[in-house]
Amino acid sequence: MILAVFDGLGGSGSSRLMFEGEQRTSAWVGSRVAAAYVAEQASAIVDRSREEIVGILEPALRAELKARGDELASGEVQSQLVSKAIKRLPTTMALCAVRPTMSDDGGDEIVSVWAGDSRCYVLTPVEGLRVLTTDHTSSTKSTSTGRSDDGAMNNVLSASGDFHLQAATTTVQGPAIVLTGTDGAYDYVQSPEDLEYLILSALAKSTSIDEWGRTLADALVARAGDDVSIALCVRGVDDLHSARGAFASRLDDLVGRGESLSAIRRRLAGTRQELARLEEELNAAEGARWETYRDGHFSLIATDRQEP
C-alpha cells in the first residue's frame, strides 16, 4: 500500500499558471503533478527497497516536474513577490510504502520517503504516535516541540530539480496505524499527543475507513489555519472493529491524561482571574491611600511662600 501527501508552497510558488483550462498557483499545480505521477508509479514501487524507491522516484520526479513546468511556462503570470526563494511547481512530499515483512515474525515494513515538512507517522497501542521523518528546514526547533517552526524549507520538490528524497525504513509488529500528513495536520494542535487523540477518537466514532478519514480531517480542519491533507491505513487487524478494540485502552489513557491537563488548565484560568482581580484591588487600594496621604504630604508647600 502507498500513502502519500503533497503540499504546494504558496509563498515560493505564488506565480499563476493556466492548468487544464483554469488559472492556478504554481504551488497548486506542483502538488497535483507530483501526486499524479506518484499514483501512476505506486504499483511499481510498493514492494521495492528504500534505495530502489528513491532511485526510481527522484530522477523521474525531476524530469516530470521540469517537463510540466517548461510546458506551462509560456502562460505563467509572475508573482509580485521578488525573492530568490521563488520556484516553479514547488511542493512537499511524504510517502509511506507499507507491506508485510518477509520474516517469520510477521509484522509490516514501512518505507518513508519525503522532501519538505510533510510527515510520516506510525501509531501503535503501546508506543503511541511516533514520527518517522525529519523536516527539511533551516531550523531544528520542530524536533523539540513536535510542531513546525519559522525556519525556511531547504529541500522541496520543484521544476528546478534542486532537491533530494530522503528515506527511512521501520518495522512494526501487531496493530499499527500508518499516517502521512501535511503541516496543517500537526501544526495546529497543542502537542503530538493531541494529534494522536484526534486520530483515535475519530477511529472510535467511525464505522468505515472513509468515515474515519473524513472525521479526522474535519477535526484537523477545525483547528487549522492551513490546508490539511492526510492519508492513513491500519495494519495488523482484521477490520475496523478490531482496530477500535486494539486501540481502546490507548484512547482511554489519552482521555485520562487529557482530563488531568484540562483540570490544571481550569485551575490556571481561575488563578489568572483571581490574580487580575487582586491586581485591580491593589491598584484601587494604593490609589485610595495616596488620596488620603497626598494633602498632608504637600501641606507645607504654598504658592505664596517667601524664601528667607
Per the structure block, which three cell numbers stand in for 249? 485502552
- Whether the pLDDT of residue 134 is over 60: the answer is yes
Task: Pick 165 or 270 by higher pLDDT.
Answer: 165
Q: What is the pLDDT, as a whole number, of residue 72?
A: 79
Task: Pick 229 or 266 by higher pLDDT.
Answer: 229
Is the overall model pTM greater than 0.85, yes or no? Answer: no
Band (pLDDT 50/70/90 cuts) for residue 18 is low
Band (pLDDT 50/70/90 cuts) for residue 133 is very high
Q: What is the pLDDT, as a whole number, of residue 308?
A: 53
Burial of 176 (0-12, 13-18, 19+ CB in 10 A): buried
Q: What is the pLDDT, as a whole number, of residue 92?
A: 96
Contact 138, 71 (CB under 8 A): no
Q: What is the pLDDT, as a whole number, of residue 102?
A: 81
CA 144 to CA 146: how far, in whole Å? 6
Q: Parse the chain into domains and list their residue ranges.
A: 2-184+229-236
Contact 88, 11 (CB under 8 A): no
Angle between helices 192-205 and 240-297 (to 10 degrees): 130
Q: What is the pLDDT of residues 206-246, one digit of tens each?
A: 999 899 999 999 999 988 877 899 999 999 999 999 999 99
DSSP per-residue codes, 208-272:
SHHHHHHHHHHHHHHH-SS---EEEEEESSSSHHHHHHHHHHHHHHHHHHHHHHHHHHHHHHHHH
∠ Cα 159 164 167 (to 5°) = 135
- Whether the pLDDT of residue 114 is over 80: the answer is yes
Contact 186, 195 (CB under 8 A): yes
Q: What is the pLDDT, as a whole number, of residue 190?
A: 85
Determine the residue type at 187: D
2-184+229-236 placed in CATH 3.60.40: yes
From the list 117, 122, 165, 159, the residue with the least C-alpha distance to 137 is 117
Band (pLDDT 50/70/90 cuts) for residue 82 is very low
- Whether the pLDDT of residue 115 is over 70: the answer is yes
